[in-house]
Amino acid sequence: MLNRLDIAIATTCCGVGFWLIAAGCVPQDRQPVRGKTKAADTGYQVGVDATLLEEGRQTYAIYCVGCHGENGDGKGPAAAVMHPKPRDFTNAKFKFSSRRNGDLPTDRNLFDTITNGLKGTAMPPWKLLPERQRWSLVAYLKTFSDKWELYDVAPVIPVVEDPYAASPDKSEAIARGAAVYHGLAQCWTCHPAYAARDRINAYHEAMGLPRREFFRENLDNAVARISTDDSVVFVPDFRRDLLRAGTSVEVLYRSIAAGITGTAMPTWVDSIETQSNAGDQITTRGDLWALAYYVQSLTEQRPPLLAAADITIRDREMIVSQDDWVAKIGDSLRSEMGGDDDEEEEEEEEE
């Protein structure tokens, strides 16, 4: 049976194979130089220097085209078996951003994603490419969508002061985060609950919220959600799954506050400040930090994984030769590529 892990192996190896083969197929006639309507300091595409764009085009053709496709539409030859799929740059929906869910990210966000990769997906880190080349990629991938010229510049999310920064012991932050996670914010409608129902109701009552009578089934499991591109995303279980963008509190603050564009993950920075009917402040933006510390503490509880293959794949360090891989899971992969989506989804949910 092909589980999610095997798909990860398959996609990674296959990705590497394909993108090397497919290198060099970006059409030469693309005209990357676009409008100059947005201010340079906002991070939107402006009159970028043509040499940089040309460098980006060439770099893209070597390293990115096999997965993201020559037209930037995410349909590179290696994309077929990947989950999640490589990003389609033509609709400019970028997930990991310091702007709100739905807004375009900053150049720095894209640069950081390219540098660090996205853990738990096929998107590799590109730390080894010289910095200038990574910036050239940022400039180049913005040529795939007109949104970079057409959209108004959106503000970045405010980063409020971390109320817990000075205390070496983060247990207060973590306890507060657990209360907000299970109480007001109800993150467990998509992510798992890490507390029993009674405890969740105790959190509710402590915040002056009504008790809940009904809870979704399998409360301690995450649910699957449909993204705007119709793909299914498995909402992370923080005690088990790798987080794409990283687990520093700064990055977690950003993911939670800004939300994740194109997915069900909402922007929290605008809805986290709430008052009771009596006018008492129940939660503030400082609680975004508490949530970040709490989520981080959950990721630290990830149990050691039992199978060696699990550990290495999750850490993206295993180098399996193409032959090993074919011998191991080639047959099941071939049937998978036959396109039985439902089966794949079911199996991934079971994992």
- Per CB under 6 A, residues contacting ligand HEC are 15, 19, 63-64, 66-68, 78, 82, 84, 86-87, 94-96, 110, 113-114, 118, 121-124, 126, 137, 141, 181, 185, 187, 189-191, 225, 233, 235-236, 243-245, 252, 255-256, 260, 263-266, 268, 291, 295
Interatomic CA distance for residues 324 and 103, integer angstroms: 42
Cβ distance to ligand HEC smaller for residue 110 or 174: 110
Cβ distance to ligand HEC smaller for residue 53 or 185: 185
Cβ distance to ligand HEC smaller for residue 46 or 138: 138
Q: Answer whether 178's CB lies under 8 Å from 195's CB.
A: yes
Min CB(294)–ligand HEC separation in Å: 8
Min CB(263)–ligand HEC separation in Å: 4
What are the backbone angles phi and psi of residue 219, rounded to the nearest 5°? -60, -30
**How many contiguous H segments (helices) and E segments (strands) does the chain have?**
13, 4
Strand-pairing partners, residue 123, are none
Min CB(124)–ligand HEC separation in Å: 6
Min CB(242)–ligand HEC separation in Å: 8
Interatomic CA distance for residues 72 and 84, integer angstroms: 16
Min CB(36)–ligand HEC separation in Å: 22
Interatomic CA distance for residues 282 and 216, integer angstroms: 25
Q: What does 9-53 look like in DSSP terms, one character per residue? A: HHHHHHHHHHHHHTTT-S-TT--------S-GGGTS-----HHHH
Min CB(133)–ligand HEC separation in Å: 9
Q: Which residue from 95, 109, 134 is spatially nearest to 43, judged by alpha carbons?
A: 109
Going from the C-alpha of 56 to that of each of 22, 49, 65, 135, 216, the distances in angstroms are 17, 11, 12, 8, 47
